[in-house]
Structure 1
């Protein structure tokens, strides 16, 4: 299974599907609704995708690829110290919410709707993204910048960042840099 396709039309259709999945939910979104949103006939949809499952997988795959690329680039561009790398990862994660919010939300809330084949295919991307976080958190733990169990720290950090899709307003007074700075400050502060 390989659902990534570089066709500009398919990318546009995937973007529109992500928007509809966020608005309606995967289960309530029909093929007819997708075709109408995309401005094509229902039958034409199957020229681009095998079925609704493949559309869901394409949305999640494209969004996860983008998040992984942004995180890797952020790590290349930041300083080598653990705090800079932690901040860069938080900033990159938040940036995915601005550039690819719908795909991010679909990946978070509709992952369980993937069929086993698609889930198996996409797990390597999710695992690669989580491995970047674990590497950064391991370095911060090793340097004494943060304390705790790596599994729990990574889950708490990812959970906090992921939850911003529910409350963060990019038009508001706080930038993603502000949020990343605050997150790092919160997890690196320790009572005297």
Structure 2
């Protein structure tokens, strides 16, 4: 996809509008108005509204992958450190790219089959990082249970923070990630 700075800016504005109004209720006219351009000019950058949605999700998922891979590269190789690094990276994604992440979570089903097929590899790559880290935690006995359920539980808990977490509140993202990991690893030591 075209990665021009203007297109990236338009994608960021579209993500904000999709979060506020929802993909279905967001019109091309609303997008153009938010972007400060004429409706027809929007199609200079995007083929249609569906391509805008795909661009939002693609950019957000690519950013999540970059953040997660960097976090894993910086930490030591213990399963505990890697689990903490992934939790912190996920929260960082939510804080630095909240709108794109929310759109990816709640509007994925609105993608047409072609866009979904194109973007599935990114989503799958991100989930594979989590599954690898969860496998390592399971192998070391840090967590117990079925990998699929554990990874869905952890990612679900982290994803839900977009609804309630206040970055200006009493907990930093690192503290929040640490507490989540402590909860799931404590339950393993109790079980």
| Residue 79 of structure 1: how far off its partner (Å) | 1.1
Where in structure 2 are there 5+ consecutive unaligned residues?
none
Among 118, 139, 144, the residue aligned to 1:142: 139
1:35 corresponds in structure 2 to 32
Structure 1: how far apart are the matches of 2:36 and 2:149? 45
1:85-164 residue pairs with structure 2 within 5 A?
85-164=82-161
CA root-mean-square deviation? 0.7
1:53 aligns with 2:81: no
Paired residues, number: 189
Instruction: Could you list the structure 1 runs, at least 4 aligned residues long, displaced by more than 6 angstroms after superposition.
Output: none
Among 173, 181, 184, the residue aligned to 1:176: 173
Scaled by the length of structure 2, the TM-score of the pair is 0.98
1:11 corresponds in structure 2 to 8
1:64 corresponds in structure 2 to 61
Where in structure 1 are there 5+ consecutive unaligned residues?
none
| Residue 34 of structure 1: how far off its partner (Å) | 0.1
